[in-house]
Amino acid sequence: MLNFLSQGNQKQVVGISLTPGIGLEAVIVDKFKNVVLNYGRKKVDYNFSTREIQDYIQFKTAIVELMDEMKIPPKALTYLVLPNVHFDFTQVPSIIGDAELKTVVLSKAEEFYLFKREEPVSGCYTVSGANDASTKKIAYTSFQKTAIDQIKDIISDCGLQLIGIESAYSATIRGLHVTGLIDDVVLEESSWTLMMINTNSFTLFQMEGKNLLDCTEVPLAIKSFSTEEAYQAIVSSSSQLLNNYPSMKLYIISQTDDICADVLKRQMQYDREIVAIDSNKYSKKPMLDVMAATDFNEANSVTASVLGASIIAPDFITLNVLSDDPAAYLGIYFTTKIAGQDVDITSEFVIKVCVVLAVVVAIFFGAIGAGLNFVDVSAQDKLSQYKSEIQSLDAQISSEEQGEKAPDIDMFGVIDQVAASNVVAINFYDSIATDIPKNVWLTKYYNKAGDKILIKGIAENIADIYEYYKNLRVVSPQSNIKLTELKVLTDVSGESEAYISNLLMEKDFDRLYSFEIANTDIEIAKEEASEASEIEIIKKKAPEAENNKKEIEKPSKQMKLAR
């Protein structure tokens, strides 16, 4: 989104890189058109023994001349790349904080011989894709603090705004990303190797996509060899190291006039694809199109490190040693006008805007939540009021029901009384009169208010009981009656004996079942029914039923359990 908004308004970054054997380069790149808008180069010497700029006056003069020739305006944002002084990796616990991480990196850097007498300043980045979740791998680069302070003062005196200082190692990798030469391996996240050749060393980088996994620097005094010996020395020294790096592709980039990457490629004993890149006198064209330059022959050899300095890609490896300096900030996306004033849209500005928006959104939703809570409280009050009224009505109804006394039941009187006012009760009485199966006898009937029913009886088989239950459901489907009890009748003492003794059948009690059908509280109904007068309904068997009587199956497992 920021890239889209910044088109036409992008803040230019002047990339400056010091490369031994090439000099001090300065470049301005249009990151949207991916072309070099301006390029210049000046001679600046570098001391490999002390690993710092040989002559700081020469360095300052070169910057002033480049500003004048390239028409670089005052206060222009400037990013500087220096030759590597110290680059290494370290493992730290995943939970370690930024403050503790700086202490670890500082302690680790001080093990390097150069920093035993010089205080280091470091920049670091976390290597992704670690196998152990409890630790993380940190890549870091370090320079002498005194040298960095002196460089900062010089660039400030020149009127430029320094926003970063970085090692040529990480800047070169990022520069290749800018050119698009490594797009295929980055997009596919493939394993690949970069060999970077400088005046007196070559370095191998093991990469996976855009992630740096390992780095090995091999000191090699190339100028002390003849041309052929120099190539053979690199091939011999690198062969074993390359075998240790599983890789789909090898990139060779030469930043010294003593080695041609294309010639070295033909001498390498490597069975995978090799891409040769020359940033020296052997280069036939620049890695990016150059729109303007003081010397186009020099522009052809523009280095990947200076391109990496001009384009700061937050999602790619960056080891800025000034990242903690409040005077140097990273990531100016573009400049826009707000209330008639030019405002730099930086990472810090974006963070502040996001914080303000987050606060506004939190207040907005907080207000909505408070309103909903108020509405919820009001609804709860209404609900409590309604519940209280319902409980009061229920108590009143319960009191009135308890005051009623169930009268003695006169079956025919009840039928006459209910028939006039209660269709449900009439349906039940009709069922008693017409829908009782042949082998079912009712022993007790209880009806309250016309629709609260309790019926008890006996039968020769379960099928007839179920048939009777279905008849009752048909005549009054809204009554919600249930078959509440079913068991084998073995004990005929008491009230059941009177009924059974009148039945015209063989007295085989294992073949009789008692049942109970009700749609009201069974215990209450039983208690009230015991106090009411009992209705005896004896269904006399026709003589021919004796001959047609079916064999009754033995009681099922459930009946045995009930027994």
Q: List pLDDT tens digits, range 1-26.
A: 444 444 444 467 899 999 888 899 99
Taking the C-alpha atoms of 465, 469, 471 and 476 in order, what is their torsion angle to the nearest 10 degrees?
160
Instruction: Give me the mean pLDDT over the 161-182 stretch.
Output: 90
Helix/strand/coil (H/E/C) assignment for every residue in 399-450: HHHHHCCCCCCCHHHHHHHHHCCCHHHHHHHHHHHHCCCCCEEEEEEEEECC
Instruction: Give me the mean pLDDT over the 167-187 stretch.
Output: 89
Q: Could you please report the per-residue DSSP string of 332-386?
A: EEEEEEETTEEEEEEHHHHHHHHHHHHHHHHHHHHHHHHHHHHHHHHHHHHHHHH
With 0-12 CB in 10 A as exposed, 13-18 as middle and 19+ as buried, what is 371?
exposed
* Across 64-68, 263-267, 507-511, least confident range: 507-511
Q: What is the pLDDT of residue 352?
A: 74
Q: How confident is the model at residue 426 (pLDDT cuts 50, 70, 90)?
A: low
Q: What is the pLDDT of residue 478?
A: 67
Assess contact for 284 and 261: CB atoms under 8 A: no
Q: What is the pLDDT of residue 363?
A: 84
Instruction: Give me the mean pLDDT over the 342-368 stretch.
Output: 71
Q: What is the pLDDT of residue 357?
A: 81
Q: List pLDDT tens digits, range 362-420.
A: 787 777 766 666 656 666 777 777 777 777 777 777 776 666 554 555 656 655 665 55
Residue bearing the bigger pLDDT, 356 or 142: 142
Instruction: Give me the mean pLDDT over the 115-125 stretch.
Output: 89
* Across 89-93, 317-321, 435-439, 483-487, least confident range: 435-439
d(CA 38, CA 28): 5
Q: Could you please report the per-residue DSSP string of 504-516?
A: SS---GGG-EEEE
Q: What is the pLDDT of residue 261?
A: 93
Q: Percent of the chain beyond pLDDT 70?
A: 70
Domains of the chain (ranges, CATH numbers): 2-181+287-338 (3.30.420.380), 186-280 (3.30.420.40), 411-562 (no CATH)
Query: Which is it for the CA torsion 168, 170, 173, 174, positive or negative?
Result: negative
Q: What is the pLDDT of residue 428?
A: 67
* Across 272-281, 338-347, 479-488, 553-562, least confident range: 553-562
* Across 269-273, 356-360, 551-555, least confident range: 551-555
Q: Say if residue 516's pLDDT is above 70.
A: yes
Q: What is the pLDDT of residue 253?
A: 93
Cβ-based neighbours of 530, under 8 Å, separated by 6 or more: none
Q: How confident is the model at residue 86 (pLDDT cuts 50, 70, 90)?
A: very high
Q: What is the mean pLDDT of the chain?
A: 77
* Across 87-91, 353-357, 415-419, 482-486, least confident range: 415-419
pTM over 0.85: no
